[in-house]
């Protein structure tokens, strides 16, 4: 079916995610589904507050009051995010239940899931983990994470590659993003001459050999995606650094950072690698996490 699902809850980051999604929807086909999930045990504070204000009798709001308040929060968020010069058609959904599960289900047949980094319900986040983190661990579609204040629509699209299947898929999706934005594609490969876990083993290492191997790997990644890269303004970057730090540094002027969900190394049973996790939480621009099959 295709399209985008974006989660909203009245928080600043969710509002930023909604604005990003509306701009993205202008560049692709398929519906834009805006979903607000609520649960009596873990209701977004914006919904609870509006339900309490709407209850003129001063009694505790019931489920009907809360659902009505949820729709008002949803409509308010959409109104704030809408560009009057380029309005987007949206499908509005308010559903009762666990937010992460509802978002994952809604996105199962879509191209993309978009979320704010930090939701509004801090207490639930501490007890059960954030909705965003849970979706990142379990989603099988590209998941974009946005923070408030990250608007830089005309910067380059940055992508990290390491030769893994996941990073090559990220490269192809980054190329499509750069093409739709008429942006430069910056392809970054970070390399280290020795494993970070082996301090003191630098002696006798031929750094030049490592650098040549890293350059060859970067060239090979570009060759494998040459059809997707045709006609784009490319900017290959080879940097001696830890991968996460290098990508976060490169995100400083970017409109989007694209990473694979898992690179080489680590435990294959985990669905989100440490590099992508660090980028999601610390990059200066929105981050798209791409699954190897997505």
Check: CB of residue 153 under 8 Å from CB of residue 253: no
Query: What is residue 129's predicted lDDT score, i.e. its pLDDT?
Result: 56
Question: Would you say the CATH fold of 157-290 matches that of 4-146?
Answer: yes
For the chain, residues with pLDDT lower than 70 are 1, 51, 53-61, 85, 119-129, 194-205, 263-272, 292-294
pTM over 0.85: yes
- Whether domain 4-146 has CATH 3.40.50.620: the reply is yes
- What are the distances in angstroms from CA 93 to CA 6, 21, 38? 10, 15, 11
Domain boundaries, the chain: 4-146, 157-290
Pairing of strands 90-96, 142-146: unpaired
DSSP string, 149-160: T---TTSPEEEE
157-290 CATH pick, 3.40.50.620, 3.30.470.20, 3.30.360.10, 2.40.10.120: 3.40.50.620
Q: Tens digit of pLDDT for each residue in 203-225?
A: 556 788 889 999 999 999 999 99
Query: What is residue 47's predicted lDDT score, i.e. its pLDDT?
Result: 86
Query: What is residue 46's predicted lDDT score, i.e. its pLDDT?
Result: 86
Q: Tens digit of pLDDT for each residue in 20-64?
A: 999 999 998 889 999 999 988 888 888 888 767 655 555 556 788
Check: CB of residue 234 under 8 Å from CB of residue 178: no
- What DSSP state is assigned to residue 203? T
């Amino acid at each position: 079916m295709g399209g985008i699902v974006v989660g909203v809850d009245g928080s600043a980051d969710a509002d930023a995610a909604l604005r990003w999604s509306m701009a993205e929807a202008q560049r692709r086909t398929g519906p834009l589904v805006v979903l607000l999930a609520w649960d009596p045990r873990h209701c977004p504070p914006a919904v609870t507050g509006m339900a309490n204000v709407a209850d003129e009798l001063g009694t505790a709001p019931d489920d009907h009051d809360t659902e009505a308040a949820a729709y008002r929060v949803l409509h308010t968020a959409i109104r704030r995010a809408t560009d009057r010069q380029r309005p987007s058609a949206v499908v509005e959904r308010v559903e009762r239940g666990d937010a992460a599960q509802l978002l994952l289900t809604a996105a199962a047949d879509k191209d993309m899931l978009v979320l704010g980094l930090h939701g509004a319900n801090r207490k639930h986040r501490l007890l059960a983990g954030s909705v965003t983190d849970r979706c990142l661990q379990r989603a099988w579609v590209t998941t974009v994470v946005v923070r408030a204040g990250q608007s830089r629509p005309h910067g380059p699209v940055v992508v990290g590659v390491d030769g893994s299947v996941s990073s090559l898929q990220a490269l192809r999706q980054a190329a499509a993003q750069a093409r739709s934005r008429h942006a430069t594609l910056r392809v970054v490969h970070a390399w280290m001459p020795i494993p970070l876990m082996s301090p003191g083993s630098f002696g006798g290492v031929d750094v030049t050999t490592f650098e040549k191997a890293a350059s060859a790997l970067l060239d090979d990644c570009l060759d494998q995606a040459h059809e997707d890269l045709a006609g784009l303004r490319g900017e290959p970057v080879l940097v001696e650094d830890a991968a996460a730090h290098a990508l976060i540094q490169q995100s400083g002027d970017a409109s989007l950072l694209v990473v694979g969900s898992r690179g080489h190394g680590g435990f294959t049973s985990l669905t989100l690698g440490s590099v992508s996790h660090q980028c999601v939480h610390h990059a200066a621009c929105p981050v798209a996490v791409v699954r190897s099959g997505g």
